Structure 1
Amino acid sequence: MSTKCESEKLAPQHKSAFFSFIKSLATFKGDLASLTAPPFLLSPQSIVEYSAYWAEHPSLFVAPASEPNPEKRALLVLKWFLSTLKQQHSNKDDNGKRKKMKPLNPFLGELFIGKWEDEAGTTNLVAEQVSHHPPATACNIWNDKHGVRLQGHVAPKVYFSGTVHIDRKGYSLLHLDKYDEDYLITMPKIHVEGIMTGSLSPELSGTTYIRSSSGYTCQIDYICKGWVSGKRNSFVAKMFHDDHENEPLYVAEGQWNGEFSIKKCDTQELVEKFDIDTVPRTPLQVAPLEHQHPLESRRAWQHVANAIYRGDIFAVGHEKTKIENEQRGMRKREKAEGREFPRRYFSRAKEDQVAERLAEGMKGETSMRGEMDSHHGVWIWDEKKYRGIQDSLRNGIKSPTRTRFDSGVGGILLDMKDE
């Protein structure tokens, strides 16, 4: 039996607080996202940053735009999607060190803005926390050079049943301009293993789909490790034409955090053996903190993140409480004044006709409807808002700045209307 290295074990001084937290998990009623975790479990990264995992490999993100064959395009979309899963869900960083598994809960209006620049050109990212209760994050990722756009929103619901489970409502739409083609994408469920030992490890479960307007669908089944056999982080994906659902064209199987193979079903020919670790990730570029908008994640949470890096759990709690209290105050003022916090880049929509059309006839339509009709609503990228902000920035209208307490976001709503 293998032993875990010391760096992966729970520090002795934290064990009592950790098991008190586990006890509170088991008795807590409602969405666990609202439950406060001990500071030593917190990651310095906010959930709103997770949108960046979609395009850490820009060359894979844009590859379908250069493939003239619709069947092969759908396969490239599947390959890209599978490549996004490791960094998003792995419990270890690039150095093999175990990550802290509780990310910061984004506040309403929190932003994360960045870009990737490499041989694929410039790939842009804008993510925004569009709802706090229930939590929902919307994002838009686009590459103008290749005409590829990904828009979506995710609303996680966290609950305890023997362990922590995360259901993710919402969906994403990938659009290829050259072919006027859309892909509807849903996200897997997560459950956290090792919670009783403090060695937390996420596992994906359930079934997700990628359905194309060209008539091809990918069904991805996530397989948890069994008691006796099997490997962690496994999956089996099959791709078929919607007119021949029981005649898969390709099957991909392996581990989403490592190596997987793609085979052609009729000949069993190996199309590709893919190892995500062999594909370098392009660094995401974000503006320096002093140039970020006060609502941008890393600027707003900077004092909390610094305290986490220092291991100062008292400062973590103090700085985090500052933000949370200011947010509560903002919500009270908004309610008293009969107004709603303005979303900066996204707008709520009554329906999404593209997603609705793609969902029709999909296997598992009932669950797909559940993803689309849940209580978090539908959030759409608002190009008019974005262009207005870009025009203001070009005309020299700068974001408001704060001099002293820069990890709070109150007091800027009146300034936002000028941007």
Structure 2
Amino acid sequence: MTSDSKSVSSNLSSASSGRASSGAATPVSEPTGNIVPSSRSGDFMSFLKDVLSFTGDLSSMTCPSFLLNGISLLEYGAHWSDYPHILAEITKATSSEERIKLVARWFVSTLYGSYNKRVAESNSGEKKPFNPILGEQFLASWDDAEYGETKFVCEQVSHHPPVSAIYFENAQAGIYGSGHFSQKSKFKGTTMKVVQEGRVTLRMKNSDEFYCLSLPDLNICSILSGKPFLEMSSTTFIRSSKGYTAEFHWYTKPWLYGEYHKFDGKVFKDAATTFVQDSLAQEQLFTFKGKWVAESRVTDVATGEDSVLFDVQAQPSADIIIKPVGEQSELESRRVWQKVSEALNSGNYDVASKEKTVIEEAQRALRKSRAEAGEQWKPSMFYWVDDSSDNEAVKACYTYLYSAKDSIGTGSWVYNNSPHLAEQSAAPSAYASGTQTPSDAFSTAPSSVL
């Protein structure tokens, strides 16, 4: 693959050379396999009755072990780096117009792994991940023949409310991002509605332009049948610091007709300080549409040229690299949940429940002991920055989005060793500036993992 910017644009119309594979799982809309073991059907019905009558945030309910998928929610964050070459190629763009198209391509590439891949590969329904303990960490990396290593870290920075902070970086390409996500869920009809709160800020070393991203909401469908799967809903945005915006509309399947997992959107330039839907001041540049679990296409408004934005089947995601459990720290996800996962994998649900309870009771004891000692726990890898205290350009970027997507919140969790801090000579000295103060504790870890 050549390194000139022209070749980067051409990659939108065909999969990156040398990466096509027939090994990618075929995306499915509705799983055929039931996630409920036949011996647990009674327990499942009892759980459903509790869920349907519950009025609070469903994340606070205890989920039966046979409905757990055996991995921590922190691992879901790693899908921001599923296609490290697509992330790295953003840095080859030579104009803001080209760059935001590549950022949109990368964003779409993160979605399949996050919300559909597990069901597509197993053809069974979506199960619930473990709720991370406070201070839990997930570390991973990916190798790419052209762009080298991409690293990822995720830390549970708050337990009430549950908040996961993420950071990813490809040092060779000079691109990195940090952010956080949190989920609130409730039943609506026969579907679980999940509102995702949070944001991600993407930066590059070879450009002063950066990007502010919001997150889609989720619908967990077919829960009552025991074959749940995810659809995305709502509208999300990518806003660049140079005034370019990508707007995505995610559609759920209508009741009697239509298709699953469709989306459309557009890219436009807008000099306004706040977003206004379909404002006449917006200069439209591109449109896109398709399925985020399959193929999506982008059209240049000026020329009418149509090309592939992203195609799940054209290229497999990169292989994730995770240290063996025996080499992980006591805070890393797969070590924290090892005994529970092993019991789930062997179908021993009673043991899984007991091991999960051991972890939860240890957390309660740590909360109590810290409260009695008057100690406040702090994350080891991230710190909180209110928008009011942030860089003016960052503040302006998120201010533009807030009128359209208030779930982005009013601040960011930032990685302690993010390169932009050194550039701004702004060391993370004031964690207390944040408003989301953790109220739980487990342990501490080294402040730098990258």
TM bin, normalised by shorter chain, reads 0.7 to 0.9
Question: Do structure 1's residue 233 and structure 2's residue 272 form an aligned pair?
Answer: no
The answer on 1:292 being equivalent to 2:320 is no
> Does 1:372 pair with 2:399?
no
How many angstroms apart in 2 are the aligned matches of 1:186 and 1:322?
A: 36
State whether residues 252 and 262 of structure 1, in contact with CA within 8 Å, keep that contact through their aligned partners in structure 2.
yes
**For 1:181, what is the secondary structure of its paired residue?**
coil
1:222 to 225, 250, 256: 250
Letter in 2 for 1:174: L
Matched with 1:275 is 311
Within 5 Å, which residues of 2 pair with 1:175-254? 175-243=203-271, 245-254=281-290
One-letter amino acid of the counterpart of residue 162, structure 2: P
Deviations 1:362-386 (A, max 9, x none): 4xx324344223xxx64221129xx
1 CA distance for matches of 2:404 and 2:159? Answer: 24
Q: What aligned pairs does 1:261-410 form with structure 2 within 5 A after superposition? A: 261-272=297-308, 274-351=310-387, 352-353=390-391, 354-362=393-401, 365-373=402-410, 378-383=412-417
Task: Give the AA of the match of 1:356.
Answer: K
TM-score (norm 2): 0.81
Give, in whole Å, the separation in 1 of the partners of 2:356 and 2:163.
20
For the residues of structure 1 that align with 2:336 and 2:31, how far apart are their CA atoms?
34
What is the deviation of 1:44?
0.8
- Cα distance in 2 for residues equivalent to 1:133 and 1:273: 38
**Residue 71 of structure 1, aligned match among 90, 97, 104:** 97
- AA aligned opposite 1:98: S
Are positions 1:137 and 2:173 aligned together?
A: no
Q: Is residue 114 from structure 1 mapped to residue 128 from structure 2 by the alignment?
A: no
Once the two structures are superposed, the pairs formed by residues 94-113 of structure 1 within 5 Å of their partners are 95-113=121-139
Question: What is the CA–CA distance in structure 2 between the aligned matches of 1:282 and 1:158, rounded to whole Å?
Answer: 31
Q: Measure, in 1, the Cα distance between the counterparts of 2:197 and 2:126.
A: 24
Note if contact 1:91-1:101 (Cα within 8 Å) is conserved in structure 2: no
Tell me the secondary structure at the aligned position of residue 46 of structure 2.
helix
Change (3 A) 1:204 1:411: closer
> What SS does the corresponding residue of 1:128 show, helix, strand or coil?
strand
Question: Which residues of 2 match residues 11-90 of structure 1 at below 5 A?
Answer: 11-90=37-116
Superposed displacement of residue 180, structure 1: 1.6
**What is the match of residue 402 of structure 1?**
none
Task: Flag the structure with more relative contact order, 1 or 2, with Cα contacts below 8 A and sequence separation at least 6.
Answer: 2
Residue type at the aligned position of 1:58: P
Task: Give the TM-score, by structure 1 length.
Answer: 0.87
Please identify, of 339-348 and 209-218, the stretch whose mean Cα deviation from structure 2 is larger. 339-348
Which residues of structure 2 form unaligned runs of 5+? 1-29, 272-279, 422-439
* Structure 1 residue 8: Cα displacement: 3.3
Aligned to 1:210, what secondary structure does the other structure show? strand
Structure 1, gaps ≥5 residues long: 388-408
Q: Per the alignment, do residues 9 and 346 of structure 1 end up closer, same or farther by CA in structure 2, a change over 3 Å counting?
A: closer
CA contact (8 A) 1:91 1:202 kept: no
Please list the CA deviations of residues 277-319 of structure 1 after superposition, one character each: whole Å capped at 9, or x if unmatched.
2222111111121211100000110111111111110011011
Tell whether 2:197 aligns with 1:160. Answer: no
Secondary structure of the structure 2 residue equivalent to 1:153? strand
Distance change (3 Å), C-alpha of 1:228 and 1:378? same
In the alignment, residue 256 of structure 1 is paired with which amino acid?
W
Q: CA deviation at 1:214?
A: 2.2
Range that drifts further, 266-275 or 218-227:
266-275
Asked if 1:126 corresponds to 2:153, the answer is yes
Q: Distance in 2 between matches of 1:193 and 1:44?
A: 20
Residues in 2 aligned to 1:8 and 1:153: alpha-carbon distance in whole angstroms: 32
Secondary structure of the residue aligned to 2:405 is helix
- State the distance in 2 between where 1:104 and 1:23 align: 22
Deviates more, 1:229-238 or 1:83-92: 83-92
CA contact (8 A) 1:121 1:143 kept: yes
Give SS of 1:187's match.
coil
Distance 1:83 1:5, change over 3 A: closer
- Per-residue deviation, 1:67: 1.0
Report the 3-state secondary structure (helix = DSSP H, G, I; strand = E; otherwise coil) of the residue aligned with 1:320: helix
Preserved CA contact (<8 Å) 1:151 1:381:
yes
Report % sequence identity.
Answer: 31
Worse-matched range after superposition: 238-247 or 22-31: 238-247
Equivalent residue of 2:90, what SS? helix
TM-fit CA distance, 1:246: 4.2
Decide whether aligned partners of structure 1 residues 43 and 195 sit closer, same or farther in structure 2, where only a CA change above 3 A counts: same
Q: Distance in 1 between matches of 2:400 and 2:257?
A: 36
Residue identity in the other structure for 1:383? N
Higher mean alpha-carbon deviation, 33-42 vs 340-349, is at 340-349
Task: Work out the CA distance in 2 between the residues paired with 1:41 and 1:370.
Answer: 28
Aligned letter for 1:27?
A: S
